Amino acid sequence: MNGSSDQPDHQLGFFRYSSRALIICMPIVALVIAARQVYLSNYHGLAVWKGGGMGMFASMDGQANRFAQLFITQSDGTRQPLTHLLRVQKDAIDNALNYPVRRNFLAVAKSIATIEWASSPERMPVVLIDSKGEPAGRASESYHMMAPFRPRSRDEKWKGNIQIEFWKMSYNPLTRTCHATLAQTFAFTPDEVQQ
């Protein structure tokens, strides 16, 4: 059975000569990947929960404090927000929020572009909110409500740009205030999102 020292060393013969390699191989790989994760988290926004580091419950910055706002923009500069998203689009956004690079938000935009969107005839006003969460009047903008209508045919061209704003929230425990910052805006042209 296994384990006899008389058994021929035919199993992965290379490791006969470097038995230590068997032992330390994975620790080295783990350290390299963890170092990469730390770099990507600090400089490219990778969520600390992902990518091979050990940063679980190490920072507030992750899925819980990140969100995205999506807009379809027209040639005249007006834009309408997309709030009623399909499951597949929400999943794509969650992926992009984990690693907020252009490539991942492009996947979101492409997913948006596979659907025909219907807009409400009336414009809805944007409400101004004060720091206590109470309405404080109306903003100058107003938008049409957009909802997914049906799948778009592959031979139909997508019209309009798609704009995705990537936001982060931070929390100050001393003042108990939460602050939102627009971290990055991504704009995608019709050619980019056409599948």
Q: Which of residues 131-160 bind another protein (CB under 8 A)?
A: 131-133, 136, 139, 141, 143, 149-151, 153-154
- Is the Cβ–Cβ distance between 168 and 61 less than 8 Å? yes
Which span sits near another protein by CB under 8 A: 57-65, 105-113, 186-194? Answer: 57-65
Q: Is 57 helix (H, G, I), strand (E, B) or coil?
A: coil
C-alpha dist (Å) from residue 15 to 3, 11, 22, 31, 92: 16, 8, 7, 21, 43
Binds another protein (CB under 8 A): choice among 75, 122, 172, 191: 172
Closest Cα to residue 189, out of 167, 158, 165, 168? 158
Find the binding residues for another protein in span 108-127 (CB under 8 A).
118, 124-127
Tell me whether residue 21 or residue 190 sits nearer to another protein (CB atom). 21
Shortest distance (Å) from residue 43 CB to another protein: 14
> CA 91 to CA 14: how far, in whole Å?
44
- What does the alpha-carbon distance between residue 52 and residue 48 come to, in Å, rounded to a whole number? 9
Considering only residues 78 to 107 of the shown chain, the ones binding another protein according to CB under 8 A are: 81, 83, 95, 98-99, 104
Q: Does 195 bind another protein (CB under 8 A)?
A: no
CB 80 within 8 A of CB 161: no
Q: Binding of another protein at residue 61 (CB under 8 A)?
A: yes
| Least distance in angstroms from the C-beta of 131 to another protein | 5
Q: How far apart are CA 161 and CA 188, in angstroms?
A: 6
**Site stretch for another protein (CB under 8 A), options 54-62, 105-113, 184-192:** 54-62
Nearest to residue 82, comparing CAs of 165, 168, 181, 186? 165
User: Residues 2-41 vs another protein: string with x where CB under 8 A?
Assistant: xx-x-x-x-xx--x---x--xxxxxx-xxx-xx--xx---
